Structure 1
C-alpha cells in the first residue's frame, strides 16, 4: 500500500530548490520577486482603507510607543502610527517612481528615434545628452528640487531629467542598427513618410530593451526619491514617503531603530523585486542569452 506523502519541511524544500535544473531555478527568483512586488503594490494602493490610523494624526501622549494591538509597529516621535505612515509612504514613493519612469521613457524614446534616424540632429542632440550625463544625477536632482521647491512634481522632474539621456542613448543605438535593415530601406524607397517609418518600422525594435530599461529606471527613481527625501531635498516633510520616514527616524535610531527598519525594509524589498524582474525580462527578451541557454 502506498504511503501518504508527508509535507516537506522548509529545510527540505530549500534543498530541493537548490537541486532543481537550471531552467527551473531561473524562474524561481523572478516568481518570488513578482509575488513580493504585487503584495507591496497591493497593500500600498489599498493603504487609505487598510491603514489602522490617520498617518498624520499626532498624539503627544503616545510618543515612541512599542508595538501593540492598537499600533502594530508602534508610534514615532510625534505619536503617529508607524504602520499607517509606512503604507501611505509607499504609495507616494511608488507613484513618484512610476511617474518618473514613464515620463523619462516616453521623452527619451521620441528624442532617441529622431537622433538615431536623422544624422544632423544626432550630433546636436547627443552633445546635449552628453552634457547632462556629465553632471552626477543626484547633484542635478538636488539642484532642480532646490530651484523648484519641495513638491512631488519637482521630485518627478528632478528624477526624470537625469534619466532621459540614458534612454536616448539606448534608443539611438537600436535605431542606428535597425535603419540599415532592408525593410527600412524599402520603406524609404517606396516613399513612406518619416512618421510612419519611425513609428511602424523603427519604434517596435526598441520595445524590448525599453521594457528592461524601464524597470531599472523605476527602481532607480524610487531609490533616488528616498535619497532626496532623506537629505531633506525631496517632497515636503508633511507628505509621508519612505525616505521622509527614515529621515525623521534617524534622530531616534539608537532609541527605536524600528523607525528606520520598517520603511527601509519595504524600500529594499521593492527595489530588489523590481531589479530581479528586470533581469528576468532581459534574459527572456535578449535573443543572444536565449541562444546561450540553448
Structure 2
C-alpha cells in the first residue's frame, strides 16, 4: 500500500494588476478617479462619435452664444462649439501626457541603470542630470519651443526632456540599493555579463516605481502643455487643445467666462484624477504603503 503525500498548492500570490484592482475598488476616491480617467480617455478616442459638432467649423453668426440645447456650453468667438473643442482638445493633451511619460520613463530607465551600476559613469551622468534639474521645467520647455518652433513633436520633446532627470535619479537610487543584494553579488561572482545583470536582476526592481512615476509625469505633462499653449508657445492655434481654447477665450472672459473656465476645469479634473490614480497604484505596489494600511 503506497502512502499518498498531500500536495495541495499553497496560497497564490496576487499579481500587481490584482493588487491595483483591489486598492481601486476598496477606495471610493480611487474608484471615482479611475472612472473619470476612463471617461476622459474614451471621449478623446471616440471624439468623432461623441462630439455634437465639428470643432473647427467657423460660424460667425453663432459667436459667443450662451449655453443652450444646441450648444451645451456655448460657442467661442468664432462660433465653434465649445463642447466639441474640449473633447477634441483632450486628444492632444492625452497624447502629450502619455507620450511624455513613456519617452521620459524609457530614456530615464536606460540612463538610470547605467548610472546606478557603472560606477565611473555615475559621476558624469549625474552632473549632467543635476544641471538639467537646476532649470525650471517651464523655462526649459519655452526655450526649446522657441528654438525649434511650435508643434506637437516639439512640445512633446520640450516637456519630456525636463522629466528625464527625475526618472534617472529614481532608477539610480533603486539600482544603488539593489546592486548590494546577495543575488546580484552572486551573479557578478558567477561571471554574468553587465547586460544580463541589469536585465534579469536590476530591471525588475524598477518596474513598480516607474509605473507610479509615469502617472505623475503624465499629469504634469498635461498641465505644462496647457500652460505652453496658453502662452502661445505650444500647439498650433488652429489645433484644438485645452490650452489653446483658454488662450483664445481669455480676451472674451468678461463676456463669456465659460470659454476659459470649462476647459480649465477639465484640465484640473484630469490632472487630479490621474494623480489620485497614481496614489492608488503606489498603495498597491509599494510594500511599505501596504504595511501602513495594515497597521492602521
Same fold (TM over 0.5): yes
Q: Matched residues in 1 for 2:167 and 2:234: separation?
A: 23
Kindly state the Cα deviation for residue 70 of structure 1 after the two structures are TM-superposed.
2.2
TM, length-normalised to structure 2: 0.89
CA distance in 2 between counterparts of 1:260 and 1:76 reads 10
Contact 2:25 2:31 in 1 (8 A): no
Q: Which residue of 2 aligns with 1:245?
A: 245
Instruction: Tell me the secondary structure at the aligned position of residue 79 of structure 2.
Output: coil
SS at match of 1:163: helix
| Counterpart in the other structure of 2:283 | 283
Cα distance in 1 between the residues matched to 2:265 and 2:48? 21
How many corresponding residue pairs? 272
Conserved? CA contact 2:219–2:274, under 8 Å: yes
**Partner Cα separation in structure 2 for residue 106 and residue 121 of structure 1:** 18
Aligned to 2:172: 172
Match runs of 1:23-38 below 5 Å: 27-38=27-38
1:25–1:100 Cα change, 3 Å: closer
Looking at structure 2, the residues matched to 274 and 265 of structure 1 have their Cα atoms a distance apart, in angstroms, of 14
* Partner in structure 1 of residue 104 of structure 2: 104
C-alpha distance after superposition, 1:208-241 (max 9, x if no partner): 1111100000000000000111111111111110
Encode CA deviations 1:88-114: one digit per residue, 9 max, x unaligned: 001111111110110000000000000
Q: Is the 8 A contact 2:71 2:83 kept in 1?
A: yes
CA deviation after TM superposition for structure 1 residue 26, in Å: 6.2
* Map 1:234-273 → 2, pairs under 5 A: 234-273=234-273
Range with greater deviation from structure 2 (149-158 or 282-291) = 282-291
Superposition misfits of 4+ residues, deviation over 3 angstroms: 23-26
**Residue equivalent to 2:86:** 86
Partner of 2:157: 157
Q: CA deviation at 1:25?
A: 9.8
Shift of 1:283: 1.6
Separation in 1 of the partners of 2:147 and 2:189?
49
Shift of 1:293: 2.1
Report the TM-score when normalising by structure 1: 0.90
Computed over aligned residues only, the root mean square deviation of the Cα atoms, in angstroms, reads: 1.3
Unmatched tracts of structure 1, length 5 or more:
1-22
